[in-house]
Structure 1
Amino acid sequence: MIHKKTRTYIPADLDIKWENLEPIYRELLDRPINSVAELEQWLHDRSELEAALEEDFAWRYIRMTCDTNSEELLQKFQYFATEIEPKTAQYSNELNKKLVDSEYVDQLDSHKYFVYLRGIKKALELFREENIPLQTEIQVEQQKYQQITGSMSVHIGDKEFTLEQAGALLKDTDRSKRQEAWEKITARRLQDREKLDELFNHLRSLRHKVALNAGFENFRDYMFQALGRFDYTPQDCYAFHAAIETEIVPILHEQAEKRREALSLEVLKPWDTDVDITGKAPLKPFKNGDDLIEKSIQCFSNINRYLGERLEIMKDNGLFDVESRKGKAPGGYNYPLSETGAPFIFMNSANTFRDLTTMVHEGGHAVHTFLTADLELNDFKHCPSEVAELASMSMELISMDNWNVYFDNEEDLQRAKRDQLFDVLKTLPWVAVVDQFQHWIYTNPDHTAEERREAWKQIYEPFGAGFVDWSEHPDAEANLWQKQLHIFEVPFYYIEYGMAQLGAIAVWKNYKENPEKGLQQYLEALKLGYTKTIKEIYETAGIRFDFSAAYVKELADFIKAEIDKLN
């Protein structure tokens, strides 16, 4: 069993209520600092408090998403969001001022604290007291997305399915069954279209106010600063979109045409993209959630003993909730527990191949959590998404050589690897579309819901529009954006998947050339947390932080060659 780190500053039994927290914040704010050693001790004490608050919030979020029907769990989450976070935000800003104003701040080790202090200074620059209630309201409002989508289900035959479970039927070799499943899923989503439009309109308005208050023209420009995007600009993102359209979309068009011919269809419809083109039944890599966990432990152990032990620790401590059920929030995540030094993995398994890749993806995040658990300050563990997603996406590819634990025969194993590599390529256009769409949303803050749907279609179609014919289902195409949780809950967190996907391909390329060295470089990069810049972390992994058209083409050619080997 694992336990929280021993506290040296805050009480071991601290009850997370504001009346108990305020005296601790006051002590930190009022404490005299008379040397660089005392400043570092102050940083450690502040870090301990913040880690305790983060873990408390983590459990409130985890429990709420595991049961979106529980009013009690929702209220506990909302208490933190409305009663604790707004007050800690004010104090955190004052503590940031105390730090940068200290006469000893320049005596801190510049190599060790550069990235941390850069982030603190940026937070001070962006802080506006009038944004605290707005950010609180946003925090509460955006959770309504999970309440709405978590309650969605469909009846097919005499059974009720969550949308994740029904999605597994899109792999059925019987086309009429696929079509029925797709139409019912789509109709259910469209049923709540207006409700989600209203929710998003409200979120967009609140976010725009936050940006204006902070002195920005729009929320896009504000978020580039708030997310600490020191290494690239909006213009770089547009260049990335263009590189994907130029280098990746033609490959996927070619593969879509092969799919159409193999299925003997005049055109591909939205329900034809997931079925195996050989006519074989869907891959079944595991029996149930417990089997998925056990096989994943074995898979990770076969790569490296340390990796398997991390998942074993999680299993022994009840840190998984993997099976889909009604009332559970959609999606999947790895949530770090800051004091415990381990994470919780949440996902919605419907016993499909996609669930295997979700597990190894979240498992990559989990390994990252363990590797950074002992970093000196809690903030050192707060990796930017470009690094966090490198951890997870690289693990999807590195783990492939050990997927034999999921499959009994070589033919299924080859199918699984081929499907995974196609998914790697398919990820890139979708990332480009979602990112470009968010640029449009927030630089056109007064748009209507109808204009938003039209903008989505105009952005989606040059990237292949899923490489299917939407002519009979224009409403479904225009509404696809509502499936993407990130747009509602974590705005602008998406381009990172594309950047990290390129990085992951490069990590895997290194791993294939020299498994021991490639894995070691990957793990050494993850151990850094956020104590170095993104570019330095990528360099430690033996790769480049680069999303130019030439680099995209180089990595796309490598993946295409690997796919050809499997055909």
Structure 2
Amino acid sequence: MANFYEEKVDFQRPKAIETAFKKLLDTPIDSVKSLEDWLIQQSLFFDEIEEGLTGHYIDFQCYSHSEEKKKQFEYDQQTIEPLVKKYSALLDEKFLASPYKDKLDSRHYTQFIKSKENAIALFREENIALEVEEDRLATRYFEHTSSLTVDWHGEEKTISELSVYLENEERTVRKEAFSHIAEAFTTIEVPLQKIMDDLIQIRQEKAKNAGLSNYRDYMFKKYERFDYTPEDCNTLAEAVRKHVTPLKEKLQAAHKSELDVDLYRPWDTNGVVKGELPLKPFNTRDELVQRTTNIFSKMDSRFADLLTTMDKRHMLDLTTRKGKSPGGFCSPLPVSKLSFIFMNASQTHDDIITLLHEMGHCIHNDLKKELKLSKYRDTPMESSELASMSMELFSMDHWHEFYENKTDLIRAKKELLKGIINFLPMGVVVDQFQHWLYENPTHSIAERNAKFFELQKYYNSSVIDWSGYETWAENSWMRILHIYEVPFYFIEYVIAQLGALQMYKQYRENRERTLENYKKALKLGASCSLPEVYAVAGISFDFSETMIKNLMDFLEDELAAVTDLN
């Protein structure tokens, strides 16, 4: 892979990094202006560190079988990141102790000061060593999952490559692919369960060190969830169960009828009816990029230029291969002022959605790159995911770039809208599961698996029949990398999806105004509260039962309208 990031810090000289931090700590601050200049100096240095660390992380994800990439990544975790955490806390203390802090313009610094006060209240130096071990365990998770391959009729395939067979019209093919995937994870269940046990123990100890009763409360503070509570998550989950789950079950019952099956099995959920072929919108990686660029050129030339630039700079690793970690993500590179997209395309419709989604993040990063404080570019995930999920919906008007056939185009649009309905219940399952994990940290492996299945049955769907395959459902949580690497990062998808639906409703009424609202909101980064960011976008930070019911009614109407296009 070409060098896609700028490494301005010599990470092999940690003492030099420490010297630079000490210089910042020793910088005299004798006015409001010198305080602001000092904050900008900090931001520039943190940008240089982040660029290098992010580059090494991406290297490891792209080539997780490489001992060289792994060695660099683990060195960063064990040597550089602890140093950064220690001095970040010391710099925060210096800032908060400055008498000039209270003379800063409140219009620009209220959110910043709130964030720094929260960080200092949460920081404990003894947690740094625990976080090094936590990172090491997450790395081991990726080592296990990235090496998974299966024998598919004499051909070695990655888990991502098997996903296309889950859409096959032949039920036996779907079941075979589903079984291969489930059994592949079963072969590594023992080490993955042990990793989870160890992570829970470490995370609970971190919370205790910070004076909190459980890790859930710790992470709510860590993620700066100032605008909602764990109780709000529980209320949201119940609202989804009441107003989304029945709609999901209605759609699955209709799909079951279309497939003409007696039992609706887990390998049926993505299957196409007899005579239909799975959507195949592109053949090559370059086709995927070019057609996505064409879509963006019809929306905003800046969006298209960004994707083209990233492609030229080798910042798109899109296709699946052995030795590459599963999943997908977008990582900002603050010195390069660009982003990197990582995904595992296998020529399916989901690949289009993934690229559009990750490009939503890239566009967000591009729009907020002029914010001088790095803290304000570190956006809460509830607005980061709003950027990406809204882009999925906005782009639908231009999907003819991938689908010349009208029937396929309609199918593709219906898949996205149905996908939202299918996702929301599962989104709260994953969130509620994580609440339970850390509210009950002494649970057994059997209790953990049983709880995940119980939550699926309660929130997700009663239509799917898991009889005889309950074990696959119970341990399927192990496929969700967020639970290992970024715990409690999932409810943001649910909240942001509801916000994205509001954006799409607004887009249906006035495209130009909505795109302008979208860009204005994304430019704010983390400089405002979530309700303020959502308000600038023209929507409400609202996941009440009333809002969810209204959005589901809107979705049903949109599905009917797309169907009527036939």
TM-score above 0.5, yes or no? yes
Residue 29 (structure 2) aligns with: 33
Residue 468 (structure 2) aligns with: 472
The offset of 1:466, in angstroms, is 7.4
Aligned mates of 1:259, 1:559 — CA distance in 2: 17
Residue 124 (structure 1) aligns with: 120
Aligned mates of 1:533, 1:13 — CA distance in 2: 32
Indicate conservation of the 8 Å contact 1:170/1:271, yes or no: yes
Select the residue among 500, 506, 530 that pairs with 1:534: 530
Residue 51 (structure 2) aligns with: 55
Aligned mates of 2:281, 2:109 — CA distance in 1: 45
Select the residue among 370, 390, 395 that pairs with 2:366: 370
Select the residue among 340, 346, 352 that pairs with 2:348: 352
Select the residue among 242, 245, 268 that pairs with 1:246: 242
Indicate conservation of the 8 Å contact 1:28/1:46, yes or no: yes
Q: Show CA shifts across 1:78-136 (max 9, x none).
A: 11111111122111111101001001001111111111111110000001111110011
Select the residue among 198, 215, 218 that pairs with 2:211: 215
Tell me: CA distance 1:449–1:170, structure 2 relative to 1, closer, same or farther (3 Å).
Answer: same
Worse-matched range after superposition: 59-68 or 174-183: 174-183
Aligned residues: 561
Amino acid in structure 2 at the alignment position of 1:337: L
Check if 1:513 corresponds to 2:509: yes
Tell me: CA distance 1:219–1:207, structure 2 relative to 1, closer, same or farther (3 Å).
Answer: same
Check if 1:560 corresponds to 2:556: yes
Check if 1:192 corresponds to 2:191: no
Aligned mates of 1:534, 1:467 — CA distance in 2: 36
Indicate conservation of the 8 Å contact 1:4/1:341, yes or no: no
Q: Show CA shifts across 1:489-516 (max 9, x none).
A: 0000000000000000000111110000
1:98-497 correspondence to structure 2 within 5 Å:
98-277=94-273, 279-465=275-461, 467-497=463-493
Aligned mates of 2:520, 2:4 — CA distance in 1: 25
Aligned mates of 2:449, 2:254 — CA distance in 1: 30
Q: Show CA shifts across 1:457-509 (max 9, x none).
A: 11110123473100110110101111111001000000000000000000011
Tell me: CA distance 1:218–1:471, structure 2 relative to 1, closer, same or farther (3 Å).
Answer: same
Aligned mates of 2:445, 2:286 — CA distance in 1: 43
Residue 8 (structure 1) aligns with: none
Amino acid in structure 2 at the alignment position of 1:490: V
Indicate conservation of the 8 Å contact 2:482/2:488, yes or no: yes
The offset of 1:534, in angstroms, is 0.3
Other structure's SS at 1:343 match: strand
Aligned mates of 1:156, 1:3 — CA distance in 2: 34
Aligned mates of 1:162, 1:3 — CA distance in 2: 26
Q: Show CA shifts across 1:303-357 (max 9, x none).
A: 1111111111111111100000011000000000011111000000011011110
Amino acid in structure 2 at the alignment position of 1:356: I
The offset of 1:13, in angstroms, is 4.8
Other structure's SS at 2:228 match: coil
Aligned mates of 1:203, 1:55 — CA distance in 2: 27
Aligned mates of 1:252, 1:34 — CA distance in 2: 61
Aligned mates of 1:218, 1:181 — CA distance in 2: 39
Indicate conservation of the 8 Å contact 1:164/1:349, yes or no: yes
Q: Show CA shifts across 1:175-215 (max 9, x none).
A: 11111111111111111111100011011110000000000
The offset of 1:4, in angstroms, is 8.3
Other structure's SS at 2:525 match: coil
For structure 2, list consecutive stretches of 5 or more residues without a partner in the other structure: none
Check if 1:88 corresponds to 2:84: yes
Aligned mates of 2:83, 2:137 — CA distance in 1: 18
Amino acid in structure 1 at the alignment position of 2:158: T
Aligned mates of 1:137, 1:98 — CA distance in 2: 28
Aligned mates of 2:531, 2:153 — CA distance in 1: 52
Residue 541 (structure 2) aligns with: 545
Indicate conservation of the 8 Å contact 1:389/1:497, yes or no: yes
Residue 9 (structure 1) aligns with: none
Select the residue among 10, 28, 32 that pairs with 1:15: 10
Aligned mates of 1:418, 1:466 — CA distance in 2: 22
The offset of 1:400, in angstroms, is 0.5
Tell me: CA distance 1:523–1:468, structure 2 relative to 1, closer, same or farther (3 Å).
Answer: same
Tell me: CA distance 1:380–1:464, structure 2 relative to 1, closer, same or farther (3 Å).
Answer: closer
Aligned mates of 1:487, 1:115 — CA distance in 2: 28
Other structure's SS at 1:143 match: helix
Indicate conservation of the 8 Å contact 1:431/1:494, yes or no: yes
Aligned mates of 1:460, 1:273 — CA distance in 2: 15
Indicate conservation of the 8 Å contact 1:341/1:374, yes or no: no
Tell me: CA distance 1:213–1:367, structure 2 relative to 1, closer, same or farther (3 Å).
Answer: same
The offset of 1:277, in angstroms, is 3.4
Tell me: CA distance 1:258–1:14, structure 2 relative to 1, closer, same or farther (3 Å).
Answer: closer
Indicate conservation of the 8 Å contact 2:138/2:485, yes or no: yes
Residue 61 (structure 2) aligns with: 65
The offset of 1:14, in angstroms, is 3.7
Question: % of aligned pairs identical?
Answer: 38
Amino acid in structure 1 at the alignment position of 2:519: L
Q: Show CA shifts across 1:53-86 (max 9, x none).
A: 1110110000000011101101101111111111
Amino acid in structure 1 at the alignment position of 2:330: N
Tell me: CA distance 1:555–1:413, structure 2 relative to 1, closer, same or farther (3 Å).
Answer: same
The offset of 1:3, in angstroms, is 10
Aligned mates of 1:311, 1:480 — CA distance in 2: 34
Aligned mates of 1:552, 1:341 — CA distance in 2: 37
Aligned mates of 2:297, 2:3 — CA distance in 1: 19
Other structure's SS at 2:263 match: coil
Aligned mates of 2:70, 2:143 — CA distance in 1: 10
Q: CA RMSD in A?
A: 1.5
Aligned mates of 1:158, 1:295 — CA distance in 2: 33
